[in-house]
Homo-oligomer: A and B are copies of this chain.
Amino acid sequence: MDLSERQLQILQAVINDYVQNAEPVGSRSISKKYGLGVSPATIRNEMADLEEMGYLTHPHTSAGRIPSDKAYRLYVNNLMEKRSLSPQEQESITARLQADRDEFNATIRHAAELLSEITHLASFAMTPAINQDTLNFVKLLPVDERTVIMMIVAESGNINNTTLRVNVPYTAETLELISKTMTVHYKGRTIDEVLKDAIIEDIGTDIEAMNLFRGNVRPSFVRTLEDMLNVNLYMEGLTNIFSIPEYSSIDKARDFIELFTKKEEFARKMLSRGDGVIVTIGEENSDTMKDCSLITATYHVDGKLVGKIGVIGPTRMKYDEVTSIMEYLTNNLSESFRLGDGKDNK
């Protein structure tokens, strides 16, 4: 049951008009503004058909048509064309992102800011999830009688230091022993894996090492790994949505804000999305977001670790523009984070 060429044109016209004006589109205005060369009556007939097929709806009998989620889906998949960014846009993105390339987290945050400024929507950006990162080595360094530093280094180059305050005396050899044993045990395993079922209880037969390990090293190790798993999530442009007609009622606005308030939950959801630019529209989303569209895209760090940025807005949004911007932005980010560029993921 394919759509005719003319039906596609009409559908596109309705979408364009509605996206711009946020008001139901009538047959007359389509016939006038978009030069299809047919009368309003003909368009009415076609629109009635499109409605029957589920691409358009009616708020009430005497109102114009608005696109359904299905229509947006068709538009995103087949109709829309990639927009190329204006030189100014390109430049402003490149400039803002390169400005502090050596500060990883700050850059990610800027990306989110930038995204919400350009799109006038709510946006977010997250640092890469490193639960699939593998450990390289663990090293304990003596500081003084009561203090030891534990250094955990991952394959990706990600490093984490923690200070342990120990309450028993120790020797350099003991630290060495524990470091070696842990490294042998954990090297090459992912953090996820280690946390789930590979935390060792024993460290050998040396009683001194054993005490230190059980009393101080092991608990700190677990806590630090858990800490490393947390991605940073930056959200921006929340208040943009107040100027969007869809959220002019307090209840809608509240629901939206609430979404953004539950950071952990939100981060979890976003992490489970696939790679590349992904658009989910209205009811394709989980229930809490069924009136929104969500667009996410992924960037790469050292061509390997994967971080995400995203935009949330009403289903009525400029999909072509937003997806193009996000593609450009993520390419740019990945470029900035190519091997060796002052990655400093603390």
Could you list which residues of chain A lie within 8 angstroms of chain B, going by C-beta atoms? 139, 141, 143, 149, 151, 159, 161-163, 227, 238-239, 242, 248, 250, 253-254, 257-258, 261, 346
Contact = CB atoms under 8 A, between A and B. Distances in A.
Contacts of A250: 242, 248, 250, 253
Counting from the closest, the 8 A-B pairs by CB-CB distance are A161-B161, A242-B254, A159-B163, A141-B141, A239-B258, A239-B257, A239-B254, A238-B261
Which of A143, A162, A258 has its CB near the most chain B CB atoms (within 10 A)? A143
Contacts of A151: 143, 149, 163
**Taking the full assembly, how many copies of this chain does it contain?**
2
Residue from A149, A151, A161 whose CB has the most chain B CB atoms within 10 Å: A161
Contacts of A141: 141, 143, 149
A248 B253 CA distance: 11
Nearest to A247: B250
A238 to B, nearest CB: 6
Most B-side CB within 10 Å, residue of A151, A159, A239: A239
Nearest to A259: B239
A258 B240 CA distance: 10
Contacts of A239: 254, 257-258, 261
Contacts of A149: 141, 149, 151, 161
A91 B24 CA distance: 55
A242 B238 contact: no
Nearest to A254: B242
